[in-house]
């Protein structure tokens, strides 16, 4: 499979008045062409920071990339690109969807005007009627009657607003869609519907997606691969079936699943794990999860575990450090 996006050893720091927050500490992650990669982890783990780094939307002067590369089709997004280049890329090469649809919508313009604006930006040669026609098509595409384009955002439900935001994000046929908890603000009954729509549209267009979610059920439904992030490091990644259908996995991931594999399909939300993530301004020398880990050994507190691959499945944990081939199981 061909890689669309490669993140290599990314380090991101937030510099605040009080502290340096080490949000990403050597994240490496690939997204292949056409795939949906799920990114899961607790609040504060660094998920949004990854998406914002890719979009180059980290808060100015506060969010700093201190090391690493982000390559889109082999071209580094962090170097040699002006803000104007990035603006042109956002939307055309990559689009981002946030949890709150209002962060992308303007309350004082009609939905039709807002969709038309994006259409005009990306297809400047279209005539007025052609723009209108495209707006109608886009509304119908996400299941909303086109005559409602004269209405304002507050006249739409949360699910409808998010569907329109998704339509806008996909209008310019981005190669990469970054969806940061796109359905968490929505009513549970319509979450699945919105997600399915987003995934179908993304598949029709052959785009790749990074789907950030708290919901392991969503990952199972939509994604072919999953990456688990903890304290700014990817602790595990691989094909969904390798991680969901076995207990051969990182103790943190086990914790997220509630540690009982049979319940995986039923427990949709991440399970709470006792204890807290380490203070991101003062990270431990060894494994970030050691404090909370039921399988902790002495080495865990002092040494960072290496990445180990079992086929396409990567685990970063001392339990698996000795293993080089799949099927061996952890040394406990």
Ligand X SMILES: Nc1ncnc2c1ncn2[C@@H]1O[C@H](COP(=O)(O)OP(=O)(O)O)[C@@H](O)[C@H]1O
Which range of residues in 15-23, 154-162, 202-210, 252-260 is near ligand X by CB under 6 A? 15-23
Q: By CB under 6 A, is residue 14 in contact with ligand X? A: yes
Determine which residue in the list 2, 17, 43, 83 makes contact with ligand X, applying CB under 6 A: 43
Q: Which helix (H) or strand (E) holds 322?
A: none
Own/partner pairs for 156-163, CB < 8 Å, 24+ apart?
A: 156/111, 158/101, 158/185, 158/186, 158/187, 159/186, 159/187, 159/190, 159/193, 159/194, 161/101, 161/102, 161/105, 162/97, 162/101, 162/186, 162/194, 163/194, 163/197
Which range of residues in 44-52, 104-112, 132-140, 218-226 is near ligand X by CB under 6 A? 44-52
276 phi-psi bin (left φ>0, alpha ψ -120 to 50, beta other)? beta
Residues that bind ligand X (rule: CB under 6 A) add up to a total of 16
Site map for Mg ion, 31-70, x if CB under 5 A?
----------------xx----------------------
Residue 72 contact partner, candidates Mg ion, ligand X, none, CB within 5 to 8 A by sort of partner: none
Query: Alpha-carbon distance 73 to 23, whole Å?
Result: 25
Dihedral angle computed from the Cα positions of residues 307, 308, 309 and 310, in that order, rounded to the nearest 10 degrees: -150
Residue 44 contact partner, candidates ligand X, Mg ion, none, CB within 5 to 8 A by sort of partner: ligand X
Q: By CB under 6 A, is residue 16 in contact with ligand X? A: yes
Across the strands, what pairs with 229? 234
Residue 41 contact partner, candidates Mg ion, ligand X, none, CB within 5 to 8 A by sort of partner: ligand X
Query: Alpha-carbon distance 151 to 157, whole Å?
Result: 12
Determine which residue in the list 5, 7, 13, 41 makes contact with ligand X, applying CB under 6 A: 41
Query: Alpha-carbon distance 286 to 305, whole Å?
Result: 7
Cβ at position 58, least distance to Mg ion in Å: 13
Q: For ligand X, which is the closer residue by CB, 21 or 171?
A: 21
Q: For ligand X, which is the closer residue by CB, 171 or 236?
A: 236
Q: To 5 degrees, how large is the angle CA 37–CA 38–CA 43?
A: 145
Cβ at position 232, least distance to Mg ion in Å: 13
Token pair for residue 47?
Answer: 């998920």
Cβ-closest position to Mg ion = 48
Query: Alpha-carbon distance 140 to 115, whole Å?
Result: 12
Chain positions 246 to 285 lying near ligand X, rule: CB under 6 A, are 280
Cβ at position 50, least distance to Mg ion in Å: 9
Q: To 5 degrees, how large is the angle CA 210–CA 59–CA 122?
A: 60
> Is residue 194 helix, strand or coil?
helix
Query: Alpha-carbon distance 17 to 15, whole Å?
Result: 7
Cβ at position 59, least distance to ligand X in Å: 5
Query: Alpha-carbon distance 140 to 117, whole Å?
Result: 17
Cβ at position 41, least distance to ligand X in Å: 6
Cβ at position 179, least distance to ligand X in Å: 13
Cβ at position 210, least distance to Mg ion in Å: 12
Cβ at position 181, least distance to Mg ion in Å: 6
Determine which residue in the list 25, 38, 40, 46 makes contact with ligand X, applying CB under 6 A: 46
Interface positions with ligand X (CB under 6 A) = 14, 16, 21, 23, 41, 43-49, 59, 62-63, 280
Interface positions with Mg ion (CB under 5 A) = 47-48
């Amino acid at each position: 499979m061909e890689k669309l996006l490669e993140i290599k050893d990314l380090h991101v720091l937030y510099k605040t008045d009080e502290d340096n927050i080490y949000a990403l500490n050597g994240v490496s992650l690939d997204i292949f062409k056409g795939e949906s990669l799920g990114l899961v982890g607790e609040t504060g783990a660094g998920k949004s920071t990854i998406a914002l780094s890719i979009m180059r939307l980290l808060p100015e002067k506060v969010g700093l990339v201190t090391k690493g590369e982000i390559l889109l089709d082999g071209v580094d997004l962090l170097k040699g690109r002006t803000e104007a280049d990035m603006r042109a890329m956002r939307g055309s090469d990559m689009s981002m969807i946030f949890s709150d649809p209002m962060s992308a919508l303007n309350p004082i313009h009609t939905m039709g005007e807002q969709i038309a604006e994006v259409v005009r930006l990306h297809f400047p040669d279209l005539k007025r009627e052609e723009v209108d026609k495209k707006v109608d098509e886009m509304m119908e595409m996400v299941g909303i009657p086109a005559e409602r384009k004269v209405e304002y955002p507050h006249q739409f439900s949360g699910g409808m607003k998010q569907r329109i935001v998704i339509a806008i994000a996909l209008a310019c046929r981005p190669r990469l869609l970054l969806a940061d908890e796109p359905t968490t603000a929505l009513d549970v009954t319509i979450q699945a519907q919105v997600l399915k729509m987003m995934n179908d549209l993304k598949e029709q267009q052959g785009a790749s997606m990074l789907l950030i979610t708290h919901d392991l059920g969503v990952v199972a439904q939509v994604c072919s691969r999953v990456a688990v992030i903890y304290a700014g490091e990817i602790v595990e990644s691989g094909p969904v079936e390798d991680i969901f259908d076995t207990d051969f996995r990182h103790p943190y991931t086990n914790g997220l699943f509630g540690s009982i594999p049979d319940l995986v399909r039923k427990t949709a939300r991440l399970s709470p794990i006792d204890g807290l993530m380490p203070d991101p301004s003062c990270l431990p020398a060894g494994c970030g999860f050691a404090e909370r880990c039921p399988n902790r050994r002495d080495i865990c507190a002092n040494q960072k575990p290496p990445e180990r691959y079992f086929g396409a499945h990567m685990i970063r944990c001392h339990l698996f450090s000795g293993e080089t081939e799949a099927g061996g199981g952890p040394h406990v």
